[in-house]
Structure 1
């Protein structure tokens, strides 16, 4: 029955003649068929045709940024796993949002070296499934298999660097536990910069931080001394600060649990002040060779010179000016929330600069 259901789903979602639809085993071997969605009700993976050039153009690997006419191939999870090639080295850029994480993922788009996956939707499916508490297969088994499907290399010798949405940060510890060879960067913006980024986005940013807080509460990641009703009394930027502090507490826990050999932290200001040093150390963390010529090409290339979202020229000076403008416009509100957040952090024992700085990683 399940086989018939999945075959019917595949026919419904791919209008091409049967001779043009790849066999499930062939698609599962091919990294250009992205593991895009997971359906726990049928224990099935939706594979979506996303060639490397499209990966490069898409801001994120989500419906909003992928062409509408891409048709998925629906495959049973176990069948996809059985056909998958040997996994490439797999590493992660976890982040707390608005901190150049997309830039970092783009910097690892270098054929023969690595490929960055920007916010694959399938990981959001897993955290949503977990939060809803719906029935289905064993969560750890599914996560393990999804990681294998994300680790399919585009070319021999490439590593895969996954930059998930920060909505899935509660899965960071399980991911690192399941992949003992994986390394992770924990990327964040300084709190003042983060608050400015939220404020300049207007109502959309202010609604977003409340949605983020709801997810963090569902994931039981907020332990800052507040009672549930206290959150209703907070301003939007106070809510933003709570989310930022909760994620910083998680980052410190990840460093403590997995060690600085595997997990390092970096703030976006340091990244943009000296991108060459940051990329040199990050490549060392991920175990990827990087010579001087390649490093120069990366830091002068589109990842660091063009806007990640709108594909326009946008260097470090433009980014700094954008942050300064936002801070000036909302200076009074940001200053007050900073003082309040520092007091909350001190009471809760959360370091504003988490341990395990990437800058302390020896590079020989």
Structure 2
């Protein structure tokens, strides 16, 4: 017998994955399925076969009142997946990485559907820890609406300084294509802009969004990804309570010294460490020296308040 909308809304075991036309796509999940799903988009790993569809409007009528949710907002290629998985490993609260429905709404905003998605994502498996959502970059366009929906939400705004960001996202043709596409869609980049101009515009768009979010969400803080990479245990100990998570020192030390930090967070079978990242970063710094200067020039030209933006991010560090 098909599940009723009320049954779907009652538990995180029925995950609102995405929208197709007037319908919400519901995927069967459980705690183990959420944990092994590195991302909740097309790469989701369901508890079993049997996705269902239900009218989105009907589901909205019976959705539970949204509960306060914790958030990781980020600029991409800055360790957000690693951070989300580490927080998941140290505490029992539910962690949702890059829900597809949120990303869809970033490209096609809909206030009613956003309310439904926020309510469905906020459900918990019991206990007192809020569900933690790791968004993706397009969702930064929804920050004003998300903040308005729950001004008490705890959040971390994970970022990289301008030069570090350039090194992280200009390192391959694939990454550069992503920068050009997202900058054109969200950062108002004019046709014909070069990669340095696109990168600067994308970083500035996100820093301005984060600065506004700090004003709208009193419980929000920032985190420079380089600080997280350099000392994950201390960072997790400081950040976890801010997000409503447990912060047992022994468990944090175990996670920070374990396999999670010696493998690639998006592909757990692939060896990768901060030392390897720093080696790659040093090589890119030499290779991209000229383009890094172009990035900073483009940012200075576009944002006379560049130094102030950088200072505001640092002043709100966890």
Distance in 1, matches of 2:291 and 2:285, equals 9
CA RMSD of aligned residues (A): 2.7
TM-score with structure 2 setting the length = 0.87
What is the CA-CA distance between 1:214 and the residue it aligns to? 2.2
1:28 aligns with 2:9: yes
- 1:264 and 1:356 in contact (8 A); partners too: no
Asked if 1:210 is matched to 2:180, the reply is: yes
Alignment counterpart, residue 292 of structure 1, candidates 239, 245, 249: 249
Structure 2: segments with no counterpart, 5+ residues? none
For residue 199 of structure 2, what is the aligned residue in structure 1? 240
- For residue 134 of structure 2, the aligned residue among 163, 166, 178 is 163
Pick aligned residue for 2:102 from 117, 120, 123: 123
2:226 corresponds in structure 1 to: 269
- Which moved further from structure 2: 316-325 or 95-104? 316-325
1:326 counterpart residue number:
284
Change (3 A) 1:253 1:279: same
The alpha carbon displacement at 1:94 in A equals 0.7
Can you give the 5+ residue segments of structure 1 that lack an aligned partner in the other structure?
Answer: 1-17, 131-138, 223-227
Contact residue 299 and residue 306 of structure 2 kept, 8 A: no
Alignment of 1:175-194 (within 5 A): 175-194=146-165
1:80 aligns to what?
A: 59
After superposition, the C-alpha distances for 1:134-164 in whole angstroms (9 at most, x for unaligned) are xxxxx33321221110112134334211111
Residues 349, 194 of structure 1: CA spacing in aligned structure 2 closer, same or farther, 3 A cutoff? closer
Asked whether the equivalents of residues 93 and 101 of structure 1 are also in contact (C-alpha less than 8 Å), the reply is yes
Secondary structure in 2 matching 1:351: helix
Does 2:251 align with 1:251? no
The answer to whether the aligner puts 1:150 opposite 2:96 as a matched pair is no
Task: Report the number of matched residues.
Answer: 316
